[in-house]
């Protein structure tokens, strides 16, 4: 099913994920609030580490090292959620938890087809990117409302 010479950027899902990662995380670091920047940095670190620690020789086995990275990323998101109460982080945590559950599913039943396992992880990553993009938008709206409210107070004073 898998070729030993599979490249990191061999499929449309992989290429699209990298492009989405660069665009959304770049936007979060550039225009996002502190929470979005921390989340984006966490995602970028996880995205760099994952291919470095991936088991490239046995595609059909669970990816233990990536499970650890995904769990650490979920920890960062949960910490941010508890500290900031941002709505988008609920969805970010959900997608990250679903990615972890995909790993657990592979641990429970190794007969899960590796392609389905990897495809599910890609889908959860796309969901995470959509959540982060919504977080940037949510933060910009929050800042605009605060700016308008501040201007209104100055006019009334």
Q: Out of 9-18, 24-33, 75-84, which region has the weakest mean confidence (pLDDT)?
A: 9-18
Question: For position 12, what pLDDT does the model report?
Answer: 82
- Position 5 pLDDT exceeds 50: no
- Whole-model pTM: value is 0.83
> For the residues of 84-132, what is the DSSP string, one character each?
H--HHHHHHHHHHHHHHHHHHHHHH-TTS-HHHHHHHHHHHHHHHHHHH
Q: Out of 4-13, 36-45, 94-103, which region has the weakest mean confidence (pLDDT)?
A: 4-13
Q: Which residue carries 């499970």 as its tokens?
A: 67
Question: For position 63, what pLDDT does the model report?
Answer: 83
- Position 156 pLDDT exceeds 70: no
What are the domain boundaries of the chain?
Answer: 12-156
């Amino acid at each position: 099913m898998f070729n030993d010479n599979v490249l990191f950027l061999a499929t449309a899902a992989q290429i699209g994920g990298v492009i989405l990662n660069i665009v959304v995380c770049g936007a979060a670091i550039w225009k996002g609030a502190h929470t979005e920047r921390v989340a984006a940095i966490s995602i970028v670190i996880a995205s760099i580490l994952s291919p470095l620690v991936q088991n490239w020789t046995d595609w059909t086995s669970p990816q233990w090292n990536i499970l650890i990275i995904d769990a650490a990323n979920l920890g960062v998101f949960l910490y941010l959620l508890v500290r900031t109460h941002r709505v988008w982080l609920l969805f970010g945590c959900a997608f990250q938890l679903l990615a972890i559950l995909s790993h657990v599913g592979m641990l429970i039943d190794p007969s899960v087809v590796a392609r389905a396992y990897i495809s599910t992880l890609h889908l959860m990553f796309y969901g995470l990117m959509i959540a982060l993009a919504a977080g940037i938008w949510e933060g910009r709206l929050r800042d605009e409302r605060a700016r308008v409210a501040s201007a209104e107070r100055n006019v009334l004073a």
